[in-house]
Amino acid sequence: MNLHTIILAAGKGTRMHTNLPKVMQPLAGRPMIDHVITTAGTLTNKISTIIGYKKDVLNEHLSANFRNVETFVQPELNGTAGAVKAAQKNIMDDEDVLILYGDVPLISRGSLKKALNDNHDAVILTMIPKDPFGYGRVIKNDSGLATEIIEEKDANAEQKKINEVFTGIMIIKGEMLLSSLEEVNNNNAAGEYYLTDVIKIASKKGVKINTIVVEETEVLGANTKSELHEIENIFREMKSKDLLEQGITLSDALRVDVRGSVSAGKDCSIDVNVILEGEITLGTNVSIGPNCYLKDVVISDNVSIEAFSHIVSTQIGADCNVGPYARLREGTVLEDQAKIGNFVETKKTKIGKGSKANHLAYLGDAEVGEDSNIGAGTITCNYDGTNKHQTKIGNKTFVGTNSSLVAPLNIGNNSYIGAGSVITKDVEDDALAVARGKQSNKPGWAKNKK
């Protein structure tokens, strides 16, 4: 059966006090709606989003980031049924429709899978929260099937006591959804077109609607910054739990932020205040010190990343040592046993096996061979104000401290650059290049100064 996911995101989010559409509020560094789309994307290629409030901002974001997501504008914010109706021309009779909310970002693939595998005519996800206030109460018949959802505003005292509530998530056949939507009216306390009325209408037509209870933490909605913060905390804990389950040692599970995916070999450890974004791959026996930021990084075995290092789009070989205070920018490749020390910045640079830049250097658009040493204060002058140029340094070469290497430049194997040099011409293998003012001592000069 084909699956079509519709994500409701037209609402205003008044209580967020924001100029952004509510679903653009960041959770773990990404807009809330991105999490929902990503989860939905693991189940189906057909995704529709309903936008309304600040639709241009949202439309621009979605079209820039998700190629296969279609957007539909809800002309008037008249309720959740109105929202789904905005996409009705995209709803096919013979498909399953999964309704998700853009502001309920933690829903898991696992729970959705479970609902999709259920073989009733339709399924709603429910929860039993500590406090059911504000949610639609689920009414069931004797066989335990859902027959109706009553919104808080419309519920009588008896119904308000029901503690099983609707999460907003449902799966229903396109045909049944379309025909039921036709019958939804706005004769209710809010004067809105409730999507929840579809349950009553479909049930009356004999549709068997099952309920599946999920954990409250998975279906919390973010209506305020404080709810969003709670969701952020839950997300952090979930992600940390993943790391622990993979066998990673965490100094404090509440002080690691995983904002992407992490896979790791055995005996890895992560200290406090580490942020991991994008895709992170760790080999065996990798340790990440406190206060590091890593985004899209692949690290091999036996690597130590020390405190305060900032590493983006980088590949690190085995037995390397990085930091403290290293900055490895996009396109950095460290081959095995390389060492990058404090206050060294690299960009689009390859450091060969066993080579070192231990302190205070900038290596950009460079290639360093094996077993070479880059002294403190070395700068590759890669930019002439218009273009970037390459610096190539061979194997077993020693670049003395405070050298400016003016690119384009080739420095051969087994060569030496004298400290304080400004190197503008290529250096051949086995040579010593010195390019600095000659020292001259003036004996007695200080004594005669006055």
The piece of 99-107, 173-181, 374-382, 390-398 that touches ligand UD1 (CB under 6 A) is 99-107
61 is catalytic: no
Report the partner that residue 111 touches, choosing among Ca ion, ligand UD1, none (CB closer than 5 to 8 A by kind): none
Report the partner that residue 395 touches, choosing among ligand UD1, Ca ion, none (CB closer than 5 to 8 A by kind): none
Compare residues 195 and 316 and give the one whose CB is closer to Ca ion.
195
Look at the block and give the residue holding tokens 């205040």: 273
H helical segments located in 185-332: 197-204, 225-245
* Nearest one of 231, 229, 279, 236 to 254, comparing CA atoms: 236
State yes or no: residue 105 binds Ca ion (CB under 5 A): no
State yes or no: residue 211 binds ligand UD1 (CB under 6 A): no
Report the partner that residue 80 touches, choosing among Ca ion, ligand UD1, none (CB closer than 5 to 8 A by kind): ligand UD1
- 3-state helix/strand/coil string of 99-163: EEECCCCCCCHHHHHHHHHCCCCEEEEEECCCCCCCCCEEEECCCCCEEEEECHHHCCHHHHCCC
Q: What is the dihedral of CA 214, 217, 221, 223, to 10 degrees?
A: 160
**Site size with ligand UD1, rule: CB under 6 A:** 28
214: part of which helix (H) or strand (E)?
A: none
Q: CA-to-CA distance for 68 and 266, rounded, in angstroms?
A: 37
State yes or no: residue 80 binds ligand UD1 (CB under 6 A): yes
Q: Identify the sign of the CA torsion 382, 384, 386, 392.
A: negative
The piece of 100-108, 117-125, 261-269, 289-297 that touches ligand UD1 (CB under 6 A) is 100-108
State yes or no: residue 168 binds ligand UD1 (CB under 6 A): yes
Out of 49, 111, 167, 309, the only residue in the binding site for ligand UD1 (CB under 6 A) is 167
State yes or no: residue 78 binds ligand UD1 (CB under 6 A): yes
Compare residues 147 and 284 and give the one whose CB is closer to ligand UD1.
147
Compare residues 48 and 80 and give the one whose CB is closer to ligand UD1.
80
Q: Residue 38 CA to chain centroid, in angstroms?
A: 10
CB 395, min distance to ligand UD1, A = 59
Compare residues 221 and 283 and give the one whose CB is closer to ligand UD1.
221
| Near ligand UD1 in 4-33, by CB under 6 A | 8-11
Residue 93 vs residues 40, 97, 175, 341, 429: alpha-carbon distances, Å: 20, 10, 4, 62, 74
Secondary structure of residue 62 in the 3-state scheme: helix
- Catalytic pick among 61, 229, 310, 359: 359
Question: Binding mask 203-232 vs Ca ion (x if CB under 5 A, - otherwise)?
Answer: ------------------x-----------
H helical segments located in 186-252: 197-204, 225-245
The piece of 71-79, 203-211, 240-248, 442-450 that touches ligand UD1 (CB under 6 A) is 71-79
Q: Residue 314 CA to chain centroid, in angstroms?
A: 17
* Nearest one of 336, 409, 415 to 373, comparing CA atoms: 415
State yes or no: residue 128 binds ligand UD1 (CB under 6 A): no
> How long a stretch of residues is the chain?
450
| Near ligand UD1 in 241-280, by CB under 6 A | none
State yes or no: residue 297 binds ligand UD1 (CB under 6 A): no
State yes or no: residue 375 binds ligand UD1 (CB under 6 A): no
Q: CA-to-CA distance for 104 and 383, rounded, in angstroms?
A: 47
Residue 100 vs residues 4, 168, 303: alpha-carbon distances, Å: 11, 7, 42
CB 223, min distance to Ca ion, A = 5
| Near ligand UD1 in 336-365, by CB under 6 A | none
Secondary structure of residue 366 in the 3-state scheme: strand
| Catalytic site positions | 359
Interacting residue ranges for ligand UD1, rule: CB under 6 A = 8-11, 50, 52, 74, 77-80, 82-83, 101-103, 135-136, 149, 151, 165-168, 194-196, 221
Binding site for Ca ion (CB under 5 A): 221
